[in-house]
Structure formats: C-alpha cells, structure tokens
Amino acid sequence: MSSEDTSGENTAINTKDAPAKASLIYDPKVRSWFYQFLLLGGVVWFFGSVWGNLTANMARQNIRTGFGFLDNTSSFEIGFKLIEYDRSSTFGDALLVGFLNTMLVSVIGIIIATIFGFSIGIARLSSNWIVARLATVYIEVLRNIPLLLQMVFWYFGVLAVMPSVKQSIQLPLYTVFNNRGMVTPAPQFSENFVMVWIALAVAVIIAVFVSKWAKKRQDDTGVRPPATLINIGVIVGIPALVWLAIGATLTFSIPVLRGFNYQGGIHIPPEFIALLWALILYTAAFIAEIVRAGILAVPTGQGEAAKSLGLNEKTRLKEVIIPQAMRVIVPPLTSQYLNLTKNSSLAVAIGYPDLVSVFMGTTLNQTGQAVEVVAITMTIYLALSLGTSAFMNWFNARIALTER
C-alpha cells in the first residue's frame, strides 16, 4: 500500500523535474556514487603507492618478507615467563610468552583495580568528611600524572632503592621484599590435587543452579531461600570433602636465604610489581570516578521510594541502587579495562617482557621484519579490543532488556 504510494510520488516528481534528469550532477544518488568512487580511487591509490614503496624499499634494504621467521630460533632469553621458553625456542614461542605476560598483568590488574576503584569511588561519596576528601585527593593526584611517569617512579625511584638481598624486608607469611623483587611461598600441589580443582568447578556450577532456583523460588512464593548460605557450604564443603577423601596434600615451599639469593618460593620481579602497582593505582582513580558518576546518576527518588517500601539499607543498595548504577557504570568500566590492557604496553619502558617489549622490541631488532612484527602486534591488540567491545555491546543489550 505505502510502497505503491511512494513509487507513484517518485514517478510524479521525475516527470515534473524533467530538466533535472538532463544534468546528472544534481542527482544525489549519482553524486553519492561519484564521491564514493573518488574515495575508493583515493584509497586504492594510497595503498598502491605505499605498497609499491614498501616492496621497493624492502628489496633495496634486503629485508626478508613473510611470516616464516616465526619458526626460526629466537636465541634470546626472556626473564619472566609463564611457559617453557629458552634460547632454542622460536620467535613464535617468544610471541606467546609476551602475550601471556601481557594477559597476566592485565587480568590481575583489572581484578585489583576494580576492587580498589569501587572502594575509592564509594569513599568519595561517603558522609564522612575526611574519607571523602582523602578519596578526592587520591583521584585528583593520580589521575593527572602521566602513567609512564608513575611507572618509572615506582621502578627506578622506589623499587630500585629497596634494601639488598641480605637486608631484605621480612613481611608476614614468609614473604620477603628486596631490590630484586618479592619472594613469596609457593604452594605445591600433590599429583591428585587436580581432583580438588575439579570438585571446586563442580561446586561452582552447582552454586549457579542453586542461585537460579532460589531466585525462581522467591519470584513464585515471595520467600527467599538461604541461597548464599547453601552456596558457601557447597563451594567450601565439596572440595574440602574431596580433599580429605582422596588424601591430597598441599605444602608450601618457603623461600630461604642461601648464598646470594633466596631459594624456593615464587620470585616476582620488580618490573612486574612496578608495572602492576602503577597500572592499579592509575586505573583505580578512573574507575572511582566512573563509580561515583554511576551512583550519582541514580535519581534520589529511587532510594527514597525503596525506603518508603520498607526495604532496609542492605536490600535498598543491592536490589534498587546498584542494579541501576551498574547500567551506567559498565560501559565506561569496560573501556577502562581495555585501557589498562593497552597501557600495560608501557612495560617496555621498565623492561617487563610483555607483548610489545618482547615482540616489537627484541624480535623486531633481531629479525628486522618491521612490517610483519608491527602487523602481528597491532592485530593482537585490535582483536582484544574488538572482542571486548563486542562483549560490551552484548552486555549492554542484556541489561537494556531487563529495563521496565
């Protein structure tokens, strides 16, 4: 019906504007095609000439091409690694080591920065004047100083002047701290301890189902079963029972000073500590501001309405304020997570072997294959951030659905 109408209108206009047909340059469609064609030509020309220059320059400088170098022996050592790696490993292995190091520092950083940032954001809204002022000062100072400067400050200014190994600072739980980093006791699991991990995973799955059941039960009957208590019991109890049943053992290797360094335990290098610490402090300041804005974005009437319904402080926060604030908090929070991941590339300045440092630094210097190395590194970061934004869009759509 309506399509018929518009087509009729179109023909009418076309017949009326007969002269316009004569000069195509006034037709928006033709113009649009023309511009896009021009753009396409420009893009093709640009990449064509870049490609031409690139191949010519690389041929002249005898730079090899292709991704074959990934299988070559790297013959350099990496100081901090999560997987087996030595001089005889390939550049591909080095890439993986760097990537895992980046992920390690990012994941730990994100978890701690979130906890820290939420606390500071809430503290800034505290009714306690001193607490609120302290949080404000923290945010304004940390947010306005470049991250790289903070990082080199912690690394060269603080950790480098820590006491030497002999005069290590003794922390609780057999942890020691010196200018070579931190040594903590290392948990050592017996062979069959894997069963305990499996039990823990099963317990978590059960807990998810219990929560779902509890929610449904509350919706149906109005009575909320003690789901939290049951879940704590399940998550602690099942693995503990399995542990006792199969007789798995958990021992700790405690660091002992022998000769010039500590033996045993987990050695955390100062680069890792400085990078993580700087990333956490910096990102927490931004997360705090996001949290504050999110909580302030919930209209005061919501809290008052919840109060007048007779909800207590805890329920009010949990069921009314936080769900609404989260809707405002989550999108910028995700982009802060992404920022933290990207900022971890500053590790190159203090020598923590992350993706950029290992691959764009050492590998690039050794192979000279700039184009491939830069392309691989950028693609990895791009994939991470596009993946995160895809997740964010999905999550946004999900919380938007629960509205109303």
Partner 1 sequence: MTKITSGSTDSIAIVRTEMVPDMPPPVRADGIVFWLRNNLFDSVGNTILTFLSLWVVYYALSGLLGYVFIDAIWQGTTGADCRVEGSGVCWPYISDRLNFFIYGFYPSTEYWRPNIIFALGAILLFLLATPGVPLKMVWGVSFVVVFPVVTFFLINGGGFTGLVEVPTEKWGGLMLTLVVAVTGIVASFPLGVLLALGRRSKMPLMRSVCVVFIELWRGVPLITVLFMASVMLPLFLPEGTNFDKLVRALVGVTLFTAAYTAEVVRGGLQAIDKGQYEAADALGLNYVQSTSLIILPQALKLVIPGIVNNSISLFKDTTLVSIVGLVDLLGSVRAGSATEGWSAPSIPVTGYFFAAAVFWVFTFTMSRYSQYMERHLDTGHKS
Which residues of the chain form contacts with partner 1 (CB under 8 A)? 32, 35-36, 39-40, 43, 50, 53-54, 56-58, 60, 126-131, 134, 140-141, 143-150, 152-153, 156-158, 160-161, 342-343, 345-346, 348-349, 356, 360, 364, 370-371, 374, 377-378, 381-382, 384-386
- Tokens describing residue 77: 């050592």
- Rounded Cα–Cα distance for residues 151 and 162 (Å): 16
Least separation in angstroms between residue 77's CB and partner 1 is 22
- Tokens describing residue 329: 């908090």
Least separation in angstroms between residue 402's CB and partner 1 is 22
Nearer to partner 1, 73 or 126 (CB): 126
Q: What's the Cα-to-Cα distance from 223 to each of 50, 220, 232, 338, rounded to whole Å?
A: 69, 8, 20, 41
Least separation in angstroms between residue 343's CB and partner 1 is 7
Nearer to partner 1, 13 or 56 (CB): 56
Least separation in angstroms between residue 125's CB and partner 1 is 13
Nearer to partner 1, 43 or 171 (CB): 43
Least separation in angstroms between residue 117's CB and partner 1 is 18
- Residues 372, 67 contacting (CB under 8 angstroms): yes
3-class DSSP state of 178: strand
- Rounded Cα–Cα distance for residues 323 and 328 (Å): 9
- Tokens describing residue 322: 């936080």
Least separation in angstroms between residue 290's CB and partner 1 is 13
Nearer to partner 1, 24 or 246 (CB): 24
Nearer to partner 1, 248 or 340 (CB): 340
- Residues 366, 294 contacting (CB under 8 angstroms): no
- Rounded Cα–Cα distance for residues 34 and 32 (Å): 5
The backbone torsions φ and ψ at residue 164, rounded to the nearest 5 degrees and listed phi first, read -75, 175
Nearer to partner 1, 217 or 342 (CB): 342
Least separation in angstroms between residue 98's CB and partner 1 is 12
- Residues 337, 98 contacting (CB under 8 angstroms): no
Identity of residue 30: V
- Rounded Cα–Cα distance for residues 78 and 223 (Å): 57
Beta bridge partners of 261: 258
Least separation in angstroms between residue 322's CB and partner 1 is 19
- Number of Cβ within a 10 Å radius of residue 358: 30
Q: Provide the pairing of β-strand 250-253 with 186-189.
A: antiparallel
Nearer to partner 1, 252 or 381 (CB): 381
Least separation in angstroms between residue 381's CB and partner 1 is 5
Nearer to partner 1, 156 or 193 (CB): 156
The backbone torsions φ and ψ at residue 154, rounded to the nearest 5 degrees and listed phi first, read -65, -40
What is 93-114 written as a DSSP string?
HHHHHHHHHHHHHHHHHHHHHH
- Rounded Cα–Cα distance for residues 42 and 38 (Å): 6
Nearer to partner 1, 208 or 378 (CB): 378
